[in-house]
Structure 1
Amino acid sequence: MRGTARTVAMFAGISATALLAAACGGGDSGNAANTSAGGKTGGSITVRGCNPQNPLVPSNTTETCGGNVLDASTAKLVHYNAETAAPENDIAESITTQDNQNFTIKLVKGYKFQDGTEVKAKNFVDAWNYAAYGPNAQSSGYFMEPIEGYADTQCTGEGDDPCAGKGKAKTDKMTGLKVVDDHTFTVKTSEKVSNLPVRLGYTAFAPLPDSFFKDPKAYGEKPVGAGPYKVDSWTKNSEIKLSKFADYSGKFGGKVDNITFKIYQDSDAAYNDVIANQLDVTDEVPSSAQIDDKYKTDLPDRNAQKAVGVIQTITFPPTKVDPNYADPKVRQAISMAIDRDTIIKQIFNNTRKPATGWVSPVVDGYKADQCGEYCKYDPAKAKAKLAEAGGFKGGKITLSYNADASHKGWTEATCNSIKSALGVDCVATPVVDFSTFRTQIANQKMKGMFRTGWQMDYPSIENFLAPIYKTGASSNDGHYSNPAFDKLLVEAAAATDPAEANKKYQEAEALLANDMPAIPMWYSTATMGWSDKVTGVKITAFGTIDFASISLK
């Protein structure tokens, strides 16, 4: 997951056998880039950053604060086109399959890590095995689940240490991964997985150099990737410095020599620094600057917007953490009590679109109105639904958010709407920063509702469902579990026809309305601003900065 705070470009369905060439399709990027000519090569830029939740290990980074850094410093088998998100081969020379279950991957020869060693097949196999192995407790280990033998790498015990005693994992290697030679390996999945190649551009699938396994802790502080930029230093709560990797082997390098992620606790402060030319790019324009398009006056010819693969939601806590929200009727009532249209108009100046389901409109397979009446503002129905549940028994409803981004306005407005419709007190509750916020959620210490956002990892309807709502998934913050939902995901992944796969995924999504594990709020439009020192600023389909295009004037 990339938990995030972040016209419409439509993506074509991509089969496994199609992932052999360059990007397909196009799309209207809207006002998505500053296309001014005259940019130069070299120089240094600063961009808004935030505190990563974990050390910078690819398989343990599931949020944007760390993910943005790793996107610039790692290379994967596949690179996603900045404009369309269509997959393009990167370290992979080819990815082939005849049956969507047995895959052969050939690597480009001579591709280098930033420690000078060559990227070889074993670096992928070792990295994916490390991610999967239960005792390593990697938050993205779940992404390896389709690979044969994954289950044997998992701990099966219970309690505080599921890896103790008889719960110990059977092995630290998956049988579905085989090194053929230095530049070839094979992948066998437990079931057919038609979109596996499309997934392989996600950070969790990045290769790891041999040096990682000698000292994983040191790597987490200063990762060694194969991407266009290398991490030089990470000063906690202050900045993360990157510089251009001189021996970068790929086709997706950048123009500037140095990138510094300046860590901010407040998005307004970052925005004001951009206005003052003290910060070169902010990937978040605060809601206060979006009212009446104020940012366009503050930053004339220095701003851009784009519809992106991001959805904002409100997630309910696991029942054992806070049982007051366990009844689906309570959840549905709260959802119907939220006036999305008014909040979007007043807080976001109509730069969002009310969500009618859990999947972003930018991916193939999207289906409107999957949430049905439960995502439509109706105070009378909301109050009646809460009465069916016997009322809210928790005293007051709470909605927590990370205070280092622009969430105060909309969370307070959401609580006001809930309180007005249901007659139950609702309080928007700040948590100091994103790292602390996510840690409380991960450690099951977060009572009450909490804001969640999902930035697609790869362009697929599956990515908006399986990693977030499948039983035991890495980003299943509310610990939702529905065997019927899980079964449909398996059937969808095995379908060889993209249309049939999408139909199954849509059936699975429809089940979410019955249980309401999270409230769909709105589909996001990324808004960025930049200083008058840079040009070529482009928003990717993922809502991130395209570091390949930006340069100094």
Structure 2
Amino acid sequence: MKRNKITLVGVGLLTAGTLVLAGCAGGDDADSGDTGGGAGDAGAIITANGSEPQNPLIPTNTNETGGGKILDSIFAGLVGYAADGSVFNDVAEEITVDDPQNLTVKIREGLTFTDGEEITADNFIKAWNYGALASNEQLSSYFFEDIEGFSYEEDSELSGLEQVDDYTFTIALNKPASDFAQRLGYSAYYPLPDVAFDDLDAFGENPIGNGPYMLDGEGAWQHDVGIDLVVNPDYDGPRTPANGGLNIKFYASQDAAYADLLGGELDVLDALPDSAFATFESDLGDRAVNQPAAIFQSFTIPERLEHFSGEEGNLRRQAISMAINRAEITDVIFQGTRTPASDFTSPVIDGWSDSLTGSEVLDFNEAKAQELWAEADAISPWSGEFQLAYNADGGHQAWVDATVNSIKNVLGIEASGAPYPTFAELRGKVTDRTIETAFRTGWQADYPGLYNFLGPLYATNAGSNDGDYSSAEFDGLIADGISSTDPDTANGLFQQAQEVLLKDLPVLPLWYSNVVGGFSENVENVEFGWNSVPLFYQITKG
């Protein structure tokens, strides 16, 4: 297979250049999808765990892990990410950074979607414009914010996208974005075939992609049950599957998934129930996985809730944060598979710091928590019960119960968990702003950059800003950081931005997650990536 390259011209994007070029430094095996292990049965189906997607499978309207896992298997973007987060070309032949605000993208010729349509520059331009239009209300529209012509207020095409020829287009940014080339492997930037725009809702139920896998015909997606994917024979890229397809099962509980893994009915599991933490390493031996991943856990208390706006709300958030014994919960409940958070990002991402000013608000401090709560009561006496919503199908009950009990015991208030049956149901309430309690949140990085943990979650109007937080000071700092061409300067600004977050607490950081999972005796060449998702295409069986 022809080896592709990403060219980053000029010193303006040194940060992106360093990261992107790393994807080309691994040799031809890295680009060819070589598993480095035994061949196995090329027709074998790999079974893996998953969850029912929140929405139809439209790339620009999917910002949760259940749908994302599927999209990343059936679509291919301009670039992709190796297990260590380094970047390699997929659809792109070359991405050139002409200057800090202008990129030129050349895609490979002869690539097709699974319906036979050739992939051209226009497929990217139309898909991105659809995702960016305000009236389309796409959850990932935020990812087009830096392109000229973007507007949150009115429908406006992305004037910064210009087709040069069938296989080349340019991207003009409205401000420097030093990691923009690195972002282009995220699902929001996937192309769409022309047929998608005939009926997007119908397309989302049976999407036509261009990735290593495709849906196994009509009825492949059985809602709340699973989805069947087979190898796309026309895929010509670096993620060539070493197996025959994927059966992603949607489990109602992680206990059920783990039981299937132990029973040989599931090949790969990327999330274990807390009931297995004490035994999974002895159960699975060298098939157990416990490694750092770019995952951050938190919960959000919207300002619109009674008692949580203004100065009173700020005092109560600080009090609740300091009433949570994170060290005890991660030790007792998670048994070493989580680490108490000291910031809003992840230790596996360059620029992480455990010494930010104000991080003491994340320390367990009963006396200080009670003092702050009393100050809030002096503004407006507390009434009601504090509740923390979570999805019951995700194995969260034990830590939620421990968290609310810690809050209850320290602050002397009624506090409880509020379970929703499914992740989709919880996220639906969060997205339409009808949830009336605090709720579980978190972030699994879209691409391996510090900014990705900050901009999409806390910038004004950001697509994943579930608490509708807005701070001019924070917005200014992350804007300056993403515009900086020096990585150390950028990371310093991102750290300052987090110090603003530590004062305001738009979410309450809890802990960093390891990817904790395992695989069966039936498979080999299992590798979990930087973002905790297995590299399915590498797995062999039989």
1:351 and 2:337 equivalent? yes
User: Equivalents in 1 of 2:488, 2:262: separation in Å?
Assistant: 47
**1:99: how far off?**
2.1
Whole-angstrom CA distance in 2 between matches of 1:234 and 1:424: 45
Matches of residues 40-439 of structure 1 in structure 2 within 5 Å? 40-82=41-83, 84-151=84-151, 154=152, 156=153, 169-171=154-156, 173-232=157-216, 233-291=220-278, 294-317=279-302, 319-320=303-304, 322-326=305-309, 327-370=313-356, 371-390=358-377, 393-439=382-428
Partner secondary structure for residue 548 of structure 1:
helix
**1:20–1:448 Cα change, 3 Å:** closer
Question: Letter of the aligned partner of 1:118 in structure 2?
Answer: E
2:39–2:540 contact (8 Å) kept in structure 1: no
**What amino acid maps onto 1:465 in structure 2?**
L
The answer to whether the 8 A contact 1:19-1:95 is kept is no
CA distance in 2, matches of 1:311, 1:446: 22
Q: TM-score, normalised by structure 1?
A: 0.90
Q: C-alpha distance in 2, partners of 1:215/1:130?
A: 13
Give 1:61 deviation, angstroms.
0.3
Residue type of the alignment partner of 1:129:
N
- Asked whether the equivalents of residues 78 and 91 of structure 2 are also in contact (C-alpha less than 8 Å), the reply is yes
1:358 touches 1:464 (CA, 8 Å); kept in 2?
Answer: yes
Answer yes or no: is the 8 Å Cα contact 1:16–1:100 preserved in 2: no
Correspondence list, 1:476-495, <5 A? 476-495=465-484
Letter in 2 for 1:492: G
Q: 1:510 to 1:62 in 2, by over 3 A?
A: same
Q: Structure 1 residues 19, 342: CA separation in 2 closer, same or farther (over 3 Å shift)?
A: closer
Letter in 1 for 2:301: F
In the alignment, residue 236 of structure 1 is paired with which amino acid?
Answer: H
SS in 2 for 1:111: coil
Structure 2 residue identity aligned to 1:75: A
Q: Contact 1:35–1:535 at 8 Å: present in 2 too?
A: no
Question: Deviations along 1:370-417, whole A, 9 cap, x unmatched?
Answer: 352100001111111111112762421111110001100000001111
Contact 1:22/1:89 (<8 A) preserved: no
d(CA) in 2 for partners of 1:35, 1:196: 31
* CA-CA distance at 1:467 after TM superposition: 0.2
Structure 1 counterpart of 2:230, one-letter code: S
Q: Distance in 1 between matches of 2:261 and 2:212?
A: 25
Deviations 1:271-314 (A, max 9, x none): 111111122222111111003xx012322333212100001111
**Match for residue 449 of structure 2?**
460
Partner AA of 1:114 in structure 2: T
> Are the equivalent residues in 2 in contact too, given 1:35–1:537 (CA < 8 A)?
no
C-alpha distance after superposition, 1:321-366 (max 9, x if no partner): x132221110011000010111011111111111001011111111
- Measured in 2, the distance between the counterparts of 1:137 and 1:241 equals 29
Shift of 1:490: 1.3
More displaced, 458-467 or 217-226? 217-226
Secondary structure of 2:47's counterpart equals: strand
Contact 1:19 1:89 in 2 (8 A): no
Q: Distance in 1 between matches of 2:255 and 2:166?
A: 49
- Native 8 Å contact 1:397 1:427 kept in 2: yes
Q: Distance in 2 between matches of 1:22 and 1:338?
A: 40
Aligned partners of 1:421 and 1:14: how far apart in 2?
Answer: 48
Deviations 1:183-209 (A, max 9, x none): 100010111111100111100000111
Aligned-pair CA distance for 1:487: 1.0
Equivalents in 1 of 2:252, 2:486: separation in Å? 46
Give the whole-Å Cα distance in 2 for the aligned partners of 1:347 and 1:35. Answer: 36
Kept in 2: contact 1:241–1:260 (CA 8 A): yes
**Measured at CA, do residues 486 and 43 of structure 1 come closer, stay the same or move farther in structure 2, by a change above 3 Å?**
same
For residue 38 of structure 1, report the CA deviation from its aligned partner.
6.2
Matched, 1:451 2:451: no
How far apart are the structure 2 equivalents of 1:522 and 1:180?
A: 46
Contact 1:360 / 1:366 at 8 angstroms: preserved in 2? yes
Distance in 1 of aligned mates of 2:215 and 2:70? 8
Deviation at 1:63, TM superposition (A): 0.2
- When the two structures are superposed, what TM-score results if normalisation uses the length of structure 2? 0.92
Structure 1 unmatched ranges of 5 or more: 1-12, 27-33, 157-168
Asked if structure 2 preserves the Cα contact closer than 8 Å seen for 1:39 and 1:536, the reply is no
Question: What is residue 463 of structure 2 aligned with on the other side?
Answer: 474
Between the aligned partners of 2:18 and 2:92, the Cα distance in structure 1 is 14
The CA deviation at 1:255 is: 1.1
| Partner secondary structure for residue 382 of structure 1 | helix
Which whole-Å CA distance do the structure 1 matches of 2:39 and 2:240 have between them? 18
Moved more, 69-78 or 37-46: 37-46
Look up the SS of the partner of 1:15 in the other structure: helix
Aligned position for 1:9: none
Distance across 2 between alignment mates of 1:359 and 1:199? 17
SS at match of 1:390: helix
**Runs of 4+ deviating beyond 3 Å:** 16-22, 34-40
Give the drift of 1:21: 4.0
Following the alignment from structure 1 to structure 2, what is the Cα–Cα distance between the partners of residues 25 and 379? 51
Matched, 1:545 2:541: no
SS in 1 for 2:387: strand
The answer to whether 1:514 aligns with 2:503 is yes
Q: Is the CA contact 2:341–2:362 (under 8 Å) kept in the aligned structure 1? A: yes
Aligned to 2:514, the other structure's residue is in SS state strand
Task: Choose 487-496 or 470-479, whichever is displaced more.
Answer: 487-496
Give distance in 1, aligned partners of 2:36 and 2:393.
Answer: 30
Question: Offset at 1:315?
Answer: 1.0
How many residues end up aligned between the 2 structures?
513
CA distance in 2, matches of 1:85, 1:333: 37
Equivalent-residue separation in structure 2 for 1:343 and 1:62 (angstroms): 28
Q: Percent identity over the alignment?
A: 41
Structure 1 residue matching 2:46: 3-state secondary structure: strand
* Partner in structure 2 of residue 3 of structure 1: none
Measured in 1, the distance between the counterparts of 2:289 and 2:37 equals 13
3-state DSSP of counterpart to 1:301: helix
Query: Given the superposition, is the C-alpha separation of residues 52 and 190 from structure 1 closer, same or farther in structure 2, using an over 3 Å criterion?
Result: same
| Corresponding letter in the other structure for 1:329 | L
Q: Which runs of 5+ in 2 are unaligned?
A: 1-12, 27-34
CA distance in 2, matches of 1:481, 1:451: 20
Question: For 1:426-459, what per-residue CA distance to the aligned partner results, in whole angstroms no more than 9, with x for missing partners?
Answer: 1011100000010010111112211111000011
Q: Is 2:14–2:485's contact at 8 Å kept on the other side of the alignment? A: no
1:493 CA drift (Å): 1.5
Structure 1 residues 24 and 368 mapped into 2: Cα distance closer, same or farther (>3 Å)? farther
Shift of 1:237: 0.9
Q: Name which of structure 1's ranges 432-441 and 534-543 shifts more when overlaid on structure 2.
A: 534-543
Shift of 1:170: 4.7
Q: How big is the shift at 1:210?
A: 0.9
Change (3 A) 1:20 1:508: closer
AA partner of residue 307 (structure 2): N
